[in-house]
Amino acid sequence: MEFLILLGVVVVSFMWGWSTREKVARKQTDKLFQHLIEQEIEEQEQLVRIKIEKHDGVLYAYHVENSLFIAQAKDKRELEEKLCEKFPGKRFGCSEDNLKEVGFTS
């Protein structure tokens, strides 16, 4: 009889522990996903999408969404410096096709 009581306590304890472990894991997973979503939103807010044009050896950068002129430079390094000066803390994104068009990638 005592063996059955002990067996029952062990089974109930195991089930309770397993259930608690699942709840904790679910809570941590939800917290991780929420953090990743917030981080992705924050990164998107820091990204400025640009289009680069090259005319007579001079590079011109324009904002993609409203076609406003942002900066001009003689080479890639100078353009990057000017963009970082005007928009500190921001990152700049350009389409792969546009980068090939102006000769930044092959």
Question: Could you report the per-residue pLDDT of 3-25, keeping only the tens digit for each?
Answer: 888 888 999 999 999 999 999 99
pLDDT at 69: 92
Domain assignment present for 24: no
SS (HEC) of the chain: CHHHHHHHHHHHHHHHHHHHHHHHHHHHHHHHHHHHHHHHHHHHHHEEEEEEEEECCEEEEEECCCCCEEEEECCHHHHHHHHHHHCCCCEEECCHHHHHHHCCCC
Q: Is residue 16 part of a domain?
A: no
Residue 56 in domain? yes
The residue whose two tokens read 């076609």 is: 67
Q: Evaluate whether residue 74 is within a structural domain.
A: yes
Cα end-to-end distance, the chain, whole Å: 80
Domain ranges, residue 87: 46-102
Q: Is residue 22 part of a domain?
A: no
**The pLDDT value given to residue 31:** 94
| 86 occurs within a structural domain | yes
pLDDT band at 36 (very low <50, low <70, confident <90, very high): confident
Convert the pLDDT of each residue in 51-106 to its tens digit: 999 999 899 999 988 889 999 999 989 999 999 898 888 888 888 999 888 888 86
Asked whether residue 88 is assigned to any structural domain, the reply reads yes
pTM (two decimals): 0.58
Total domains, the chain: 1
Residue 47 pLDDT more than 90?
A: no
